[in-house]
Structure 1
Amino acid sequence: MQTKPDPHSRAPRILIPLVVVLIVLVIGASSWFLLNKQQAQSGQTGTTHTAVPTQNSGEVSPLLFGTNLGLFNGNDQVLRSEPTRAALQQMHPRIMRMPVRQELTEAVEVQAAQTIKALGAVPLVVLHSVSGANVVAADTSIIKAMNGVFGKSVVYYEFGNEDDWAGVSATTYTKAWNQVIPQMKQVALNGQFVGPVNYQYNGDFLRAFLQQAQPRPDEISWHEYTCSYKWPADQCIANIDNWNKHISDSRAAMQATIGTELPVMITEWNYAPDAAYNDGKNNNSAFMTTWTNKALQTLANNRIFASMQYSCTNTAIPLVDNDNKITFQGAVFEQLYVKMILHGKVPAPTPATPTVSLNGVQNFSFEDGSADGWSGRSSGVSAVQNSTAFAFAGKHALQVTLTNISAGNYPYIAVDLASQTSYPGAGKTVTAYAYLPAGSLPFTAKLFVVGSDYHWYSNDAVQLKPGTWNPLTYTLSATMSGVPKQIGIQFDTSASGPASGKIYVDAVGWQ
C-alpha cells in the first residue's frame, strides 16, 4: 500500500484455551504444509512450487486468511507485544505480508520474519523494484536474510508495491522485473516471485506484463479496496461485487496471453485505502461484520489462492486494536477461518463468467447504441458518441473526444433530466465510471449535478488512472429540493500544452 491515508477497526475478543489453539493450528495447516514439504523433498532441483488448490475446485486455500504487517518502524505492535501476537495466533493468519522499508534496519526485518515464522504463517516479502538505489544489492541482501530465517521453506516475494500508483508503466515495471528477478531466483533457496502488485485491478497492465515477463511470475497479484471512507456504507459493500469481474478478467487475460492460469493473490484488501480512525465504518459493528463477511466470502467463492487483509495492527482497520483486543473485522476473520478451513463449510465456486453487479440502478447503460441524450456542452468536446471500444458493463459506453484543451478550460458533457423518466432525489448518490485508455495524456474528471436553483454541485476532480475504470460520485444533500436540471461530467488536463484524447463513460446511475 502506498502512502495513502491509513486504512482500519475494532471488536469483541473471544478467548480460546491454548490447547485448543494448538490443535486448531495443527489441523488447519498440517495437510497444506505437508504437501509443500513432500514436494520440496521430491528430488526436484531449483525452486519448487507450493501445492495449490485446483482453480475453481471445491477447495478453499488456507492462505485466503492472511494479513499484512504494518511495520512502519521498529516499534511495530506485533513485534513488541506478546498479547497482540497471542490475539493474532487465535485468528490463524496462514500467510503474512512483510514490507521492506528503506528506513528499517535489517535487524528489524529479520525480527519481523522470525515473528511470522513463530506465528506459524507463510511469509510474503515485498522487494524493492523500480524505485530506490542499488535494487539488486538491496533485494539480494533481504533474500539472503530470509534464507537464514526460513531455510528451504517456501517464501513468496512480491516485486515492488503499487508502482503503478506512482505512475510506473507496465513497460517500465516489466523491464525491471526481467533485469532483477532472474538474479533473485539464483539467490532464493525456495522463492516464489509475484507481480505486478497493482494498487487496483488493471487488466491492460496485467496483460502487458504477462506478455513480456521473463521469467513468468509464479503468481499474480493486485490490491482490492471498494470505496473512500467518505462514501455511503451501502456503496462500499456493493462494490465488492466488482471483485468477481476483476478475478474473472484476470483469468481470461492469463489464458489469452500465456495459455494457462496462475494462482491469484490479493495482497491487500479492505474497504477503503483512506480509512480514518472512528470514521463511522470501522467503529460500526454492523458495517464491519457485513462488509468483511461479504469480502471473504467473495474471495472464497472465486477460489483465490491467497489474500491478505490490510493490516493486522497500527492502522485504522486492524485485526487487533491498540489495546490488544480483536476488532470487529478480526472476529469475522476468525469465525470464517473456523467455518471454511476447520469445518470445511465452503461456499460454491463463482461461475467462470460472473455477472457484473453495478452500484445501484444503471440509468444510462448506453447499451441501446445511442448517446442516451448526452452531449458536449462546451468547446473542447469535439464528439460524443456511442462506442464498443471499452465498456464497464455490457458492450457499449459513451466515447467523449476532447480536442486541444488546456488546463483550466473545463470542457464538459451533460444530459438534461427534464426528458428522463427518473431523476436523483435528495440524499441519493449519483455514480458514473470513466475510462482513460493506457498511454493517454493526463486528464481529470468530476461528476456534477445542476440543481433546480441552477447551481452546480460536485466533489473535487479525480485524476483518472489510465487503463482502468475510475468511479465518479456525488451525493445530493438530504435537504435538496426540486428536480435537478442536469447531470454532467467536467474534464480538465494537467498536460503542459494543448491535450487531446478520448475518455469513455459508462454505467451512470443513482441510488
Structure 2
Amino acid sequence: MSGPSPGASRRLGIRLMLALALLVAVASTVVPTARGTTTPTTADPLFGVNMSFFGPGDAMVTRPATRELFRSWGVPIVRVPLRDRFSKNGAPVGDDQLLSAMRAVRDIGATPMLILRGPGSGRTADDVKKTDLHLLDLIHQVFGDGTAHLEFGNEPDLPGTDVPAADYTVAWNTVVPALKSRYPKAAYRYVGPASWRVDHDYVKYIGAFVAGAMPEPDFLSWHEYVCGTAGDSGWKQTCEGHLANWQTHVTDVEMTVQGKIGKQLPYFITEWNADSSAAGPVYTAGNADYLASWTTKAIDRMRGLRPAPAGAMIYTATDHGGFGLVTGAGQVTAQGRAFHQAMTNSSTVTRPKAEPPSQPASPIPGTEPPSGTQSGTDPSSGQDSSSGTDSPPASPPAGTPSPAENSSAATPDVPKATGNQYYVAPDGDDAKGDGTRAHPWATIQHAADRLTVGGTGATVHVADGTYAESVSTTKSGHAGGYLTFEAEHPGKAVIAPKTSAFPFESRGDYVRVTGFDISGAGGAWSGVLIWGRHNVIQRNHVHDVLTHLASKDCDGSPGGQAIGDDASASDNAFLGNRVDHVGPYPTACEYVHGIYPSGGADVVQNNIVSQTSGSGIRFNHNAKGATIANNLSFANANHGIYITGGDSTADHFVITNNIVRDNAMYGINVRDDANGPHNQYRNNLFFDNHKGRYGLDNSKEFTPPNTSGTLDADPRLVRYTADGTGDYHLTAASPCVDAGTTTGAPADDLDGVARPVGRGVDIGPYEFTR
C-alpha cells in the first residue's frame, strides 16, 4: 500500500458518513485563525501524527489555521504518504501536490516521515527505484540535507497485498543503496518494513527482513491497532485489554531481531489507534467520550514501553473516516482533545530553543537546594537545568576510557556522585514525591524520565530494596559530569523485573551504572545493554540472564549477554562487575556470553565472570583497540575470553593480567580475523582449561604474537569453587602475586586497593594485601 491505511476493510462511503456524524457530534474547539497567535511547545516523539492526504483538500495541506494548530501543539513528527493516486482509480497526485504536502510539514516545524513507494501492485524493484529516486529529488527540494525519515512502503504484509518478506527485502536492497548515494550528505534515515501487525507469525516478517537487509535499516517500523470490533459485543473490554499486547509485541520484535543479527534496532510505531476499521462502533459519534478515555490510556501504555519507541504517529491528524484529531472544518474532536491533553501533561514537553521562557513551565525537582536555589538546578553550573533537554553537548569534550599502553591509567577517571541529586526508595511515591531525599520517588524509571543533567552531571541515588521494573533511558551526561545511577549500598538495590528483555538499557552517553544487583530471571536477553559512548558499568552483580533459553535453541541460538554494548557504541568501560548464570548453563550456547562488548576502544577490567553458556568475556563486531585486564573468568561452557573481528579486523587489543581457568574450551580463543599484529597478550595465567591456553579458531592451540609472561599454574585462590560462591582473593602462595604487568592494568583492584601493593601488579581482580 502506498500510504497510511489501517486495513483493507475501510470503505470510502462509510468513512464519509462517519466523518459527517463525527463532525456534528464531537467538534467543539475552533482552530486559531492567525499564525503566531499561540505559543508552540515541543512534545516528545510519542505525539507524532499521520497526514491522511487522501485528497487534494486535506486540511493540513490547505488550511493555514490547521497547520497553526499542530504547530502550536508542538507535534514533533508528521508522517506523509507520497501517493501516486488519491484513491485506487482516482486522479494521479502531481509533483506540486506532493511538494505542498511536504511544505505543510515544514511549516509546522515537524520532522517529516515520508512514505516512499515500496514493492507490490506488480511493481518490480527497478520500477520502485526509478519512482523513489524522483520522490527523493522532491524531498530534497523541500528539506535539503536536513533530517527526514524515509519509510520504504506501507503494510507489505497486509492480507490482500501479500508481498513476501523475501521480495520486500530484495526491493529494499535494490532501492535504498541508490537513494543513500543520491544525497550522501543528507541526514536521511531509512525505515521499514511498516508491518501492519507484529503479533503471532507476523513478527517473522521483520525477522526475515533484518536478516537479509543490506543496508541495515536505521529504524524498524510497524503498526498497532487493538480493537478489532466488527461484530464484537464486548468491544470495550477488547479495546482496553489488548493494550497490554503492545509491550509483548515490542519484546517479541527485540528478541526476534536479536536472534537474527545479534543486536537490537530502534523502532517507530508509524500508525496506531483503537481500531483499524471504521466499520466498528469505536469511531461512532455516540462513543466519542469513550474513544477519548481510551486514547489517554493508550498513551499512558505507550509511555511505558521498554525500550521506548523513537516515535509513534497516531492515525490520523485530520478527518478521514472518523479517525481524525481535527475535522476538515477545523474543529478538534474528542480524541484530539485527549491527545492534546496528554501532550501538555507530558513531563518531556519543553519550549523550543528559539523561544526560551524566563522560567520553565514545569520545573523538575532534583535536590533539596540551599536557600535561593531553584529545585532541580545545578548550583555549580550557574544555569537552569530543568529545560528538559536530554541531548549531550553537540561537541562533547575530548577524553575517553581508551586503553593506555604501558600504563596503569587505562581505567577511565569517573567522577563520584555530583550535579543534580535525585532519590528513589521502595516506599517513595512517583505521583506525590519530588525526588528529594525527604520525598523520594518510587521507581528508577520515573527518576530517569524526570531528571535533568546540569553542568556537573546528575546522580540518582537508589535505596535498598527490590525494584520490579526495567529501566530505559536515552538521556546523557557529559565529560564534565556523568549521569549516574547508583545503589546507595552496593548489592542492596535489586533491579528484578518480572518480565523484560532488558532490565537496564541506556542509549545515552556518559552514563554510569554502579552497585546494583540486576536479575534477568524475568526473561531477559541482556541484563545491561549500552548503545552510546563513554559509559561506565561498574561493580554490579548481573545474573540469571537467558536462563529461560531452551537447550534445543542453542544450535545457532539467538545472541544475548549479561552485560554488553552495541557495535555502534565505543569507549565504554565495564569495571569490577560480578557476572554468573548466563544461559542454560552447563549447556553450551555459542552466542550467549557474560560480558559481550561489540564497540571500539572498550575497557574490561577487574570483573569476575563464571557459569555462562558461552564465553565469559567475548568481543565481536566493531571491536578494536580494547583493554581486557585483571579479570577472572572461570567455569564457562565455551572459552574464558574470546576475541573475534566480526565487522572489523580486531587489532590493538591489550589482553593482560587475566586468570582464566576451568573453561570447557580454550582459556583465551582468538578467531583468525582477530589475530591483529598489534595485539598484546601479556602475563595471563591459565589453569585446567579443557582444550588448552590460547586457541585459534576454536580448533588448535597456538602462541599469538606479542605474547610474554604467560603462566601455567594453579592460581591458589583463598577458596576456589566453580559455582561462583567462593573467595577469589589471592593467597600468599599464589603465583599471581607481583607477576603482572602495568600494561593495561587498572589503578586499583576490585576492593578499591591501589595497585601495586608489593613489588609489582598482581594478576587477577584482587591485589594480595600483606
Aligned counterpart, 2:331: 325
**Correspondent of 1:125 among 105, 114, 119:** 114
Q: The residue matched to 1:241 in structure 2 has which SS?
A: helix
Which residue type is aligned with residue 165 of structure 2? A
Q: TM-score, normalised by structure 2?
A: 0.39
Residue 110 of structure 1 pairs with residue 127 of structure 2 = no
Residue 64 of structure 1 pairs with residue 46 of structure 2 = yes
Contact 1:110 1:145 in 2 (8 A): yes
Aligned counterpart, 1:252: 255
Aligned counterpart, 1:437: none
Which residue type is aligned with residue 71 of structure 1? F
User: What is the rounded CA distance, in whole Å, between the counterparts of 1:219 and 1:200 in structure 2?
Assistant: 16
CA offset at residue 293 of structure 1? Answer: 1.0
Aligned counterpart, 1:243: 246
Aligned counterpart, 1:96: 78
Residue 73 of structure 1 pairs with residue 55 of structure 2 = yes
Q: Percent identity, please.
A: 28
Residue 207 of structure 1 pairs with residue 207 of structure 2 = yes
CA offset at residue 276 of structure 1? Answer: 4.4
User: What is the rounded CA distance, in whole Å, between the counterparts of 1:295 and 1:279 in structure 2?
Assistant: 14
Q: Relative to structure 1, is the Cα distance of residues 278 and 203 closer, same or farther in structure 2, using a 3 angstrom cutoff?
A: closer
Aligned counterpart, 1:21: 38
User: What is the rounded CA distance, in whole Å, between the counterparts of 2:179 and 2:116 in structure 1?
Assistant: 10
Q: The residue matched to 1:308 in structure 2 has which SS?
A: strand
User: What is the rounded CA distance, in whole Å, between the counterparts of 2:156 and 2:283 in structure 1?
Assistant: 30
Q: The residue matched to 1:330 in structure 2 has which SS?
A: helix
Q: Relative to structure 1, is the Cα distance of residues 263 and 20 closer, same or farther in structure 2, using a 3 angstrom cutoff?
A: farther
Q: The residue matched to 1:236 in structure 2 has which SS?
A: helix
Aligned counterpart, 2:222: 222
Residue 155 of structure 1 pairs with residue 136 of structure 2 = no
Contact 1:219 1:265 in 2 (8 A): yes
1:291-343 CA-to-partner distances (Å, cap 9, x unmatched) read 11121112211121101111111311101013311111111211111221224
Residue 139 of structure 1 pairs with residue 145 of structure 2 = no
Q: The residue matched to 1:205 in structure 2 has which SS?
A: helix
Aligned counterpart, 1:441: none
CA offset at residue 268 of structure 1? Answer: 0.5
User: What is the rounded CA distance, in whole Å, between the counterparts of 2:218 and 2:45 in structure 1?
Assistant: 15
Contact 1:199 1:222 in 2 (8 A): yes
Residue 184 of structure 1 pairs with residue 179 of structure 2 = yes
User: What is the rounded CA distance, in whole Å, between the counterparts of 1:264 and 1:212 in structure 2?
Assistant: 18
User: What is the rounded CA distance, in whole Å, between the counterparts of 1:147 and 1:105 in structure 2?
Assistant: 16
Contact 2:27 2:332 in 1 (8 A): yes
CA offset at residue 100 of structure 1? Answer: 1.5
User: What is the rounded CA distance, in whole Å, between the counterparts of 1:288 and 1:354 in structure 2?
Assistant: 31
Contact 1:156 1:192 in 2 (8 A): yes
User: What is the rounded CA distance, in whole Å, between the counterparts of 2:78 and 2:137 in structure 1?
Assistant: 19
Contact 2:31 2:330 in 1 (8 A): no
Contact 1:269 1:309 in 2 (8 A): yes
CA offset at residue 156 of structure 1? Answer: 0.5
Matches within 5 A, 1:316-395: 316-340=322-346, 341-342=348-349, 343=362, 348=446, 351=470
User: What is the rounded CA distance, in whole Å, between the counterparts of 1:223 and 1:173 in structure 2?
Assistant: 17
1:2-31 CA-to-partner distances (Å, cap 9, x unmatched) read 543168864542878976833x43xx26xx
Residue 168 of structure 1 pairs with residue 163 of structure 2 = yes
**Correspondent of 2:267 among 264, 268, 271:** 264
Query: Which structure 2 segments of 5+ residues have no match?
Result: 86-92, 350-361, 363-387, 389-429, 432-444, 450-468, 472-496, 501-549, 551-770
User: What is the rounded CA distance, in whole Å, between the counterparts of 1:206 and 1:191 in structure 2?
Assistant: 21
User: What is the rounded CA distance, in whole Å, between the counterparts of 1:241 and 1:167 in structure 2?
Assistant: 27
CA offset at residue 90 of structure 1? Answer: 3.4
User: What is the rounded CA distance, in whole Å, between the counterparts of 2:269 and 2:326 in structure 1?
Assistant: 21
Query: Which structure 1 segments of 5+ residues have no match?
Result: 30-61, 357-394, 396-511
CA offset at residue 69 of structure 1? Answer: 0.8
Q: Relative to structure 1, is the Cα distance of residues 279 and 270 closer, same or farther in structure 2, using a 3 angstrom cutoff?
A: closer
1:204-246 CA-to-partner distances (Å, cap 9, x unmatched) read 1111111111100000000011123433122112111111100
User: What is the rounded CA distance, in whole Å, between the counterparts of 1:354 and 1:100 in structure 2?
Assistant: 43
User: What is the rounded CA distance, in whole Å, between the counterparts of 2:285 and 2:150 in structure 1?
Assistant: 30
User: What is the rounded CA distance, in whole Å, between the counterparts of 1:322 and 1:278 in structure 2?
Assistant: 21
Which residue type is aligned with residue 190 of structure 1? A
1:89-138 CA-to-partner distances (Å, cap 9, x unmatched) read 33322101110211211111110000000001100111111123621111
Q: Relative to structure 1, is the Cα distance of residues 280 and 101 closer, same or farther in structure 2, using a 3 angstrom cutoff?
A: closer
Aligned counterpart, 2:754: none
Q: The residue matched to 2:298 in structure 1 has which SS?
A: helix
1:370-410 CA-to-partner distances (Å, cap 9, x unmatched) read xxxxxxxxxxxxxxxxxxxxxxxxx9xxxxxxxxxxxxxxx
Contact 1:74 1:108 in 2 (8 A): yes
User: What is the rounded CA distance, in whole Å, between the counterparts of 1:283 and 1:264 in structure 2?
Assistant: 35
Q: Relative to structure 1, is the Cα distance of residues 209 and 281 closer, same or farther in structure 2, using a 3 angstrom cutoff?
A: same
Work out which structure has the larger RCO, using CA pairs closer than 8 Å and 6 or more positions apart in sequence.
1
Aligned counterpart, 2:236: 233
CA offset at residue 190 of structure 1? Answer: 2.0
Which residue type is aligned with residue 219 of structure 2? E
Root-mean-square deviation (Å): 2.9
Q: The residue matched to 1:21 in structure 2 has which SS?
A: coil
CA offset at residue 274 of structure 1? Answer: 0.8
Matches within 5 A, 1:488-507: none
Contact 2:229 2:280 in 1 (8 A): no
Q: TM-score, normalised by structure 1?
A: 0.58
Indicate the structure (1 or 2) with the bigger Cα radius of gyration.
Answer: 2
Contact 1:13 1:326 in 2 (8 A): yes
Q: The residue matched to 2:150 in structure 1 has which SS?
A: strand
Contact 1:67 1:312 in 2 (8 A): yes
1:193-212 CA-to-partner distances (Å, cap 9, x unmatched) read 00111111122111111111
CA offset at residue 281 of structure 1? Answer: 4.8
Which residue type is aligned with residue 267 of structure 2? V
The answer to which structure has the higher helix fraction is 1
User: What is the rounded CA distance, in whole Å, between the counterparts of 1:311 and 1:79 in structure 2?
Assistant: 14
Q: The residue matched to 1:163 in structure 2 has which SS?
A: coil
Q: The residue matched to 1:196 in structure 2 has which SS?
A: strand
CA offset at residue 250 of structure 1? Answer: 1.3
Contact 1:170 1:209 in 2 (8 A): yes
1:455-482 CA-to-partner distances (Å, cap 9, x unmatched) read xxxxxxxxxxxxxxxxxxxxxxxxxxxx
CA offset at residue 283 of structure 1? Answer: 4.3
User: What is the rounded CA distance, in whole Å, between the counterparts of 2:285 and 2:204 in structure 1?
Assistant: 33
Greater mean deviation of Cα atoms: 340-349 or 284-293:
340-349
Q: The residue matched to 2:157 in structure 1 has which SS?
A: helix
User: What is the rounded CA distance, in whole Å, between the counterparts of 2:228 and 2:49 in structure 1?
Assistant: 20
CA offset at residue 258 of structure 1? Answer: 2.2
